């Protein structure tokens, strides 16, 4: 039972917010790429894929960061630094998750297969970027971005809204992970690893706001291209309200709460997409 608990913790299944932050954008991409009429099997693929990819990402992250995690109070109780799981066991779990992901890819078209393979390489590389790249959150915005894969799945790679949605989701990801990075700022300084809050310094919150404004503008362009009704644009104002609230939390140094609030912001955007594309 202790091993099972440790495996769940390694995959972060005990903290599903990371799944939501990948799943909601993936479903948003699915709704937009199918104009509100996704097929049931596509929904199933997106849900299962999001769970598997996020879980695999957490496992490989902990494998690469096992030595760093042991030096940080918040992470030293994780399965690898606490030795509740061995490195071999962690690799086996990652291989199983990878195998399950490959079994899903066997059901998709060739474009989706190729693009997914490229993103898999980025996911494996991402945890290492904090060691050599000044802004790893920027890399995350590209890596954990399901838009291109979903548009490939629905055979909509030529859809003109795809690049706008890709960069909108990337901007939101950079913003919320920078909030998360603020919680680890002191540990990152001590461990001499990179993050956008260390790079941006006192300008971190204004830059985060800039990315959020950029996301709203890009989403507005999508509404214009697809000829969406007024409800879409009204919803973007509500989304902006979430961002203002997040910055209120951040000014109170409640960085983790600001990060978690993005789950609700993304869910609202999904509901907005469902409502707008069904009209």
* pLDDT at 147 > cutoff 90: yes
pLDDT of residue 262: 97
Cα separation, 155 vs 158, in Å, equals 8
Region 89-110 average pLDDT: 91
Between vectors from CA 55 to CA 131 and to CA 183, what angle results, nearest 5°?
50
pTM (two decimals): 0.95
**pLDDT band at 76, cuts 50/70/90?**
confident
Contact 276/230 with Cβ under 8 angstroms?
Answer: no
DSSP state letter for 15: -
List the domains of the chain with CATH numbers: 2-277 (1.10.357.140)
- For residue 34, the number of C-alpha atoms closer than 13 Å in the C-beta half-sphere is 20
Q: Name the strand (E) or helix (H) holding 243.
A: helix 230-251
Region 228-254 average pLDDT: 96
**pLDDT band at 222, cuts 50/70/90?**
very high
Cα separation, 19 vs 184, in Å, equals 21
- The token pair that represents 231 in the structure block: 């409800």
Region 123-143 average pLDDT: 94
How far CA 20 is from CA of 54, 56, 235, in Å, comes to 9, 15, 20
Region 72-94 average pLDDT: 92
pLDDT of residue 1: 75
Region 90-118 average pLDDT: 91
Region 92-106 average pLDDT: 91
Contact 84/90 with Cβ under 8 angstroms?
Answer: no
User: Percentage of residues in the chain with pLDDT exceeding 90?
Assistant: 86
**pLDDT band at 75, cuts 50/70/90?**
confident
pLDDT of residue 245: 98
* pLDDT at 105 > cutoff 90: no
* pLDDT at 3 > cutoff 90: no
The predicted-structure confidence for 11-46, as pLDDT tens digits, reads as follows 999 999 999 999 999 999 999 999 999 999 999 999
Which residue in 213, 203, 139 sits closest to 172, CA to CA?
A: 213
pLDDT of residue 278: 77
pLDDT of residue 256: 96
**pLDDT band at 73, cuts 50/70/90?**
confident
Region 247-257 average pLDDT: 97
Contact 163/192 with Cβ under 8 angstroms?
Answer: no
Cα separation, 62 vs 172, in Å, equals 24
C-beta neighbour count of 103 within 10 angstroms = 11
Q: Look over the chain and give the mean of its residue pLDDT values, rounded to a whole number.
A: 94
At how many degrees (to 10) do helices 255-277 and 17-33 cross? 20
């Amino acid at each position: 039972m202790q091993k099972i608990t440790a495996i769940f913790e390694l995959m972060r299944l005990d903290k599903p917010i990371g799944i939501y932050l990948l799943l909601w954008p993936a479903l948003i991409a699915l709704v937009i790429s199918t104009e509100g009429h996704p097929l049931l099997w596509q929904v199933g693929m997106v849900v299962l894929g999001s769970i598997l990819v996020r879980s695999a990402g957490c496992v490989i992250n902990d494998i690469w960061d096992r030595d760093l995690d042991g030096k940080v109070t918040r992470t030293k109780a994780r399965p690898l630094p606490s030795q509740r799981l061995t490195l071999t066991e962690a690799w086996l779990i990652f291989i199983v998750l990878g195998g399950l992901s490959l079994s899903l890819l066997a059901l998709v078209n060739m474009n989706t297969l190729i693009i997914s393979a490229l993103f898999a390489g980025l996911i494996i590389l991402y945890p290492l970027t904090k060691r050599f790249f000044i802004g790893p959150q920027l890399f995350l915005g590209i890596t954990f971005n399901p838009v291109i894969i979903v548009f490939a799945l629905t055979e909509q790679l030529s859809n003109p809204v795809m690049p706008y949605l890709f960069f909108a989701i990337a901007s939101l990801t950079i913003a919320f992970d920078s909030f998360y990075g603020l919680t680890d700022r002191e540990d990152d300084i001590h461990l001499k690893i990179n993050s956008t809050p260390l790079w941006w310094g006192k300008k971190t919150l204004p830059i985060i706001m800039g990315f959020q404004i950029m996301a709203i503008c890009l989403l507005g362009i999508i509404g214009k291209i697809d000829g969406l009704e007024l409800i879409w644009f009204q919803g973007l104002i509500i989304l902006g309200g979430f961002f203002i609230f997040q910055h209120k939390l951040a000014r109170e140094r409640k960085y983790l709460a600001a990060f978690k609030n993005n789950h609700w912001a993304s869910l609202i955007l999904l509901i907005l997409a469902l409502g707008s594309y069904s009209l």
